[in-house]
Amino acid sequence: MIVYKIDKQSQVKASTDIRSMAEVVAEITPTLRILKDAVTEQGSGISSPSINNFREELQQRINAAIGLTTVIADDSQKLVAVSDQAAKHVLAIEEQLGTVLQSKATETPVQ
C-alpha cells in the first residue's frame, strides 16, 4: 500500500529553509578553491617531504570536498523542486478525490 502524506506548512518551511541554505552552500565551493590555491602557493614558500605529503593529502581532501559540495548543492535543489511538484500533485489529487467522494455521497441516498 502506498501512503501519501502532505503537511503543507512543514513542506513549505523545509523547502524555504533548503532554498535559503543554497546561498551558503554556493559559497563553499569557491571558498574551497581559494583555499586550494593558497595551499598550492604555500608550497612555493616551504617544502619538505613530510610537509609536501601532508599538503598533497590536504589538496586531495579539498578536491573531494569541492566535488561533494557541488553534488550537495545540486541535489538539495532537485529535492526542493521535486518535493514542491509532488506536493502540488498530491494536493490536487486529494482535492479531486474529496470532490468525487462528496458528489458520490450526495448521489447515493442513505437507507
CA-wise closest residue to 14 among 90, 94, 87: 87
- pLDDT score of 104 more than 80: no
pLDDT of residue 109: 61
pLDDT at 110: 58
Supply the pTM of this predicted model. Answer: 0.66
Alpha-carbon dihedral angle through residues 47, 51, 54, 55, given to the nearest 10 degrees: -30
| 62 pLDDT above the threshold of 90 | yes
Q: With both helix axes pointing from N to C terminus, report the angle between 8-42 and 49-107 in degrees, rounded to the nearest 10.
A: 170
